[in-house]
Amino acid sequence: MSSIAQYLLNGLMQGTIYGLVAIGFTIFFGVMNVIKFSHGDVLTFGAFGGLVAAWAATALGFPIWLELVFVVLISVMASAAIGAIIARGLVLPLKDAPPLNMLLMTMMVGTAIRECIRLFFPNGTNPQRFPELLPSGGFDLSGVYFRYDGLILIAAGIAFIFAVQWIINRTRLGLAIRAVAEDGETARTMGINFTLTVAIAFAIGSMTAGVAGALYGLYYSEINYSMGLILAIIGFSAAIIGGLGNIWGAIVGGYLFAGLQTAVVALLPALSDYKNVIALIVVVALIAWRPTGLLAERGSERV
């Protein structure tokens, strides 16, 4: 039981990352009905931005706590900036184009971001060591080892999830985003700046990728140029499981996917190398059983 509990603790960390990525997909789809497949590469861009920030902070002699704040802040800002640029320069001009055009465009943008990191970042083809900025060690509780860094990152990730939920549902900006998502033309007639609101919504969705990238680097102490590919697939799967367009559904989907992976590793250790395959097979079965997701978005038009 202690071993299973340990696996579940690790799965909680993975689920937090998956949930953050899934929230981004949900926001993009909710606002513009767009499946933005460059989302994973935006995550990678933010993580590498955080790595550059760590190098700069070390060179400037920042204390470790300030370096940590600086790394996370730059990761979030880099992802938000490129997300807003993609929205303003590519998504909005193609908003009336066929969905396939939008899908291909986001895939190509993601590939361009990924290849630029691989080609132009110093030694970009190889994995990069991410600095260890959190307290090391941990403590045992009933046979379960709790890592200090893991607990801090899980708490930070969950706090950011609630912050995004609060912004979307409790602020005037969130009201404008929800109005645009419901009916863009009506929102315009009510005086809402449609272009700015969409750009901000995409920036917020991309910020979740930046936080996920920073959490990944800080927890696993390593990032690479292709890390966003599998995280995007899993995040999108999580969003589909929960009900695309539903933020809470995306969170539930993220933890459910991590739970499936953890169950394979804990209960079928001989198949641990196939944890993603088995989890995706279960996702396919869930989608076949409930195509609209476990927590489908309210509203007949969306469904």
**Model confidence over 128-149: pLDDT tens digits?**
999 999 988 877 777 777 788 8
Instruction: Say which residue, 300 or 194, is predicted with more confidence.
Output: 194
Exposure of 275 in the CB half-sphere (CA atoms within 13 A): 21
The string over 83-105, giving b where at least 16 C-beta atoms fall within 10 Å of a residue's C-beta and e elsewhere, is bbbbbbebbbebeeeeeeebeeb
What pLDDT does 299 receive? Answer: 44
Contact yes or no for 3/266 (Cβ under 8 A):
yes
What pLDDT does 121 receive? Answer: 95
Average pLDDT over residues 235-262: 89
Ranked by mean pLDDT, which of 4-13, 108-117, 291-300 comes out on top?
Answer: 108-117
Query: Residue 300 pLDDT more than 50?
Result: no
Residue among 194, 184, 150, 182 at smallest CA distance from 14: 150
Query: Residue 301 pLDDT more than 70?
Result: no
